[in-house]
Amino acid sequence: MSTGSGLLEIDPLELKFPFELKKQISCSLQLSNKTDEYIAFKVKTTSPKKYCVRPNSGIVPPRSTADVVVTMQAQKEAPPDMQCKDKFLVQSVIVNEGANAKEITPEMFSKESGNVVDEVKLRVAYVPPPQPPSPVHEGSEEGSSPRGSLSDNGNLTATEFMSPALISRLTEEKNSIVQQNNKLRQELESLRREVSKKHIGFPIAIVAVVALLGILLGYILKK
């Protein structure tokens, strides 16, 4: 919000500081000269030890703007209810064409000297500092679809790409195959002992082993 009356348009009319203890905070003003005159300005405050204004005076040429930075010194304690009673005053006056900042004197802004001085009062407000965005944990929300994560080289690994249901089913099949394999091993060992007891010839034992291996291979291929 800016004022459209007077020699200078000032934006904003309220200085808002994101208040934080023990931290310097700055905000800026823009002074716009929409006239064909050279205008000198001066910025005053009710708390000069609390604020630093740069520049606190200067010249705004015709049809141009000037920026003023107001810095609040680090505060050790917050005011009651975060209310601030500090005020700023921007004074402006028409000066000779081609005037520069070095020619500005306090007498220029003295009404007692007969000068036409325009004055605009500015309020000060403390606002809460901006809050950082909350971190978003992917996959933690209920109902979210499963997604693979990136490995160190930026690629999805095979396990991360598969859904939990598919991984569970494959794990069950793997355990079933392991159990069948153990069972066949036990049957083979039992057959070997039977062959040893009955003194069956070597060729017959070979045939039995090959048959069992064939059964195992066929079971795995079906999976």
**Alpha-carbon span 105 to 102, nearest angstrom:** 8
Say which DSSP state 78 is in.
P
Residue 23 in domain: yes
Domain with 28, as residue range(s), is 9-127
Residues 165 and 207 grouped into a single domain: yes
Residues 119 and 186 occupy one common structural domain: no
Strand ranges (DSSP E) for 100-164?
118-127
Total domain count for the chain? 2
Q: What is the pLDDT of residues 83-118, one digit of tens each?
A: 999 999 999 999 999 899 999 999 999 988 788 999
Residues 112 and 184 in one domain: no
Residue range 209-218, pLDDT digits in tens: 666 776 766 6
pLDDT score recorded for residue 170: 80
User: Does residue 214 sit within a domain?
Assistant: yes
| Mean pLDDT in residue range 169-185 | 80
Same domain, 14 and 115: yes
Are 32 and 87 part of one and the same domain? yes
Per-residue pLDDT tens over the stretch 126-143: 998 877 776 665 554 555
Q: Is residue 3 part of a domain?
A: no
Residue 53 has pLDDT above 80, yes or no: yes
Q: Are residues 167 and 121 in the same domain?
A: no
Tokens for 86, please give them: 């500090």
